[in-house]
Amino acid sequence: MTTYENLLSAISAPEGQGVPMKDPATGAVVGRAPQHAEADLDAAVEIARQAQPEWAARSHAERSEYLNRAADAVEACAEALAELLSREQGKPLNGPNARFEVGACAGWLRANAGFEIEPEVLVEDESGTAVLEYVPVGVVGAIGPWNWPMMISIWQIAPSLRMGNTVVLKPSEYTPLSVLGLAAVLNQVLPEGVLQVVPGGGELGAALTAHQDIDKLMFTGSTSTGQAIMRSAADTLKRLTLELGGNDAGIVLPDADPEAIAEGLFWGAFINTGQTCAALKRLYVHESQYEAVCEALVDVAQKMPMGVGMDEQNVLGPLQNKAQFDIVTSLVDQARASGARILTGGDPEADQAGYFYPTTLVADIDNDNPLVAQEQFGPALPIVKYSDLDEVIDWANALEVGLGSSVWGTDLEAARAVAARLQAGTTWINKHGAIDPRVPFGGVKRSGYGLEFGLEGLKSVALPKVTSW
């Protein structure tokens, strides 16, 4: 049986080597992350290239069977994985956090195993026949962030493997053990060489991006790194999927029921303690509902326990790292200094062992305040009052990013009419961030391009191939 202890000892660097990874809730050392150099990356890419033709030669049914067995392995090791994730990333075991993330890994593997990707007959008449099929790209390079390290890795791994590619993945330097642990479990069932993880920093990511033998790069992370990747990928004309930062707006319409939507709004914004790409990051509320929504949100926020991830009662955790803690602190301090009203939170304890920033709701804040205009990526939600629908739609669309957005109200047709005017890859109605492995997900504007999930996600890690006769 895979326990937390034997999983950790299988992936940690020996004593005296590697980089110590610390629990962001306590500062305790979790384990030691091995560090790969460029030569290790080259060796991994070579192994991936050697393994790829045989993997691609298997049928879709065989590869799907492997993905289902990989999901079984994740489920069999779920508690060990959740503990590793909670200790390294900081997220609590419970709530929509570590156990949820491990469960989603199994779910995404099974969903990708289950899709049918049929050849498309484009033309079939007296002029001839043309058929479109999807063939493997080759070796996929994947680079991930630290907020949902296991789940986002699976978003990259599962469709890539399903389509007959092999994968070399560079995890975030903040959460390498989580990804190494997940890969160790997947590799209990996968053939050798189809999935490898190369832990290291941004320079190793840059080397992977520039590598001559990587055919496609999947990147999830910040917009600025995505821009660097795009520049570097030009030399090899690498295919790219870029899932980048967001600053999702939510619009509460005058006919919304504040009590009914408060919990949905809360988790839309505070899932993973706000460290989520498609979280609700700026909330616009019609003046007629403003105070009622603020009060209902404060009630929900004050009921949600925050603390050390391994304590079963907690549903909110620390910020994952000091840099993110400092960003959130600075944005809330600027909001307070501008005269905004702090409804709850905003006052982290001094001298604490972890990077805990209290759940913070900020009202009476201007639309151009930095807490609204910049991605906070933490537990601090600005609530902006509006009176005119056209103006609030302009505000929602004014930023350079466009990942998700949401509209909240009781008249579905009216909400859909607003949704149609929002510039975002996804607009949810009366929910936010509710991703589904069957439903394509991706950003517009500087939130990136390319789709993940569903059949569109499979196609994005394949090459379209037309045969015509």
Report the interface residues with ligand NAD, using CB under 6 A.
143-147, 152, 170, 172-173, 201-202, 205-206, 209, 220-222, 225, 228-229, 243-246, 277, 375, 377, 403, 443, 448
Catalytic residue among 77, 105, 277, 294: 277
Contact 206, 228 (CB under 8 A): yes
Q: Which residue has the tokens 């995890």?
A: 171
Q: Which residues pair with 360 in a beta bridge?
A: 380
Our answer to whether residue 277 is catalytic in this structure is: yes
**Based on the number of CB atoms within 10 Å of its own CB, is 263 exposed (0-12), middle (13-18) or buried (19 or more)?**
middle
Q: Of 154 and 294, which has the nearer Cβ to ligand NAD?
A: 154
Q: Please report how close the Cβ of residue 293 comes to ligand NAD at its closest, in angstroms.
A: 25
Q: Please report how close the Cβ of residue 40 comes to ligand NAD at its closest, in angstroms.
A: 15
Beta-sheet strands, E only, within 233-354: 239-243, 248-252, 280-286, 341-344
Contact 90, 22 (CB under 8 A): no
Tokens found for residue 108: 């995404």
End-to-end CA distance of the chain: 54
Catalytic residue among 83, 88, 173, 243: 243
Give the three-state DSSP class for 367. coil
Q: Please report how close the Cβ of residue 279 comes to ligand NAD at its closest, in angstroms.
A: 8
Q: Tell me the C-alpha distance between 51 and 54, whole Å.
A: 6
Q: Residue 130: in which H helix or E strand, if any?
A: strand 128-136
Residue 268 has, within 13 A of its CA and on its CB side, a CA count of 30
**Based on the number of CB atoms within 10 Å of its own CB, is 366 exposed (0-12), middle (13-18) or buried (19 or more)?**
middle
Q: Please report how close the Cβ of residue 403 comes to ligand NAD at its closest, in angstroms.
A: 5
Q: Please report how close the Cβ of residue 384 comes to ligand NAD at its closest, in angstroms.
A: 20
Taken in order 111, 113, 114, 115, is the CA torsion positive or negative?
A: positive
- Residue 110's nearest CA partner among 138, 59, 70 is 70
Q: Of 92 and 145, which has the nearer Cβ to ligand NAD?
A: 145
Contact 404, 425 (CB under 8 A): yes
Q: Please report how close the Cβ of residue 214 comes to ligand NAD at its closest, in angstroms.
A: 12
- Residue 365's nearest CA partner among 344, 386, 345 is 386
Q: Of 244 and 249, which has the nearer Cβ to ligand NAD?
A: 244
Q: Please report how close the Cβ of residue 410 comes to ligand NAD at its closest, in angstroms.
A: 30
Q: Of 209 and 427, which has the nearer Cβ to ligand NAD?
A: 209
Contact 168, 73 (CB under 8 A): no
Q: Of 176 and 264, which has the nearer Cβ to ligand NAD?
A: 176
Give the three-state DSSP class for 3. coil
Q: Of 90 and 145, which has the nearer Cβ to ligand NAD?
A: 145
Residue nearest to ligand NAD (CB): 205
87 Cβ partners below 8 Å, 6+ apart?
Answer: 23, 28, 30, 309, 310
Q: Which residues pair with 382 in a beta bridge?
A: 362
**C-alpha separations of 174 from 20, 144, 146, 378 in Å:** 10, 10, 6, 16
Q: Of 209 and 406, which has the nearer Cβ to ligand NAD?
A: 209
Q: Of 186 and 244, which has the nearer Cβ to ligand NAD?
A: 244
Which residues are marked as active site?
243, 277
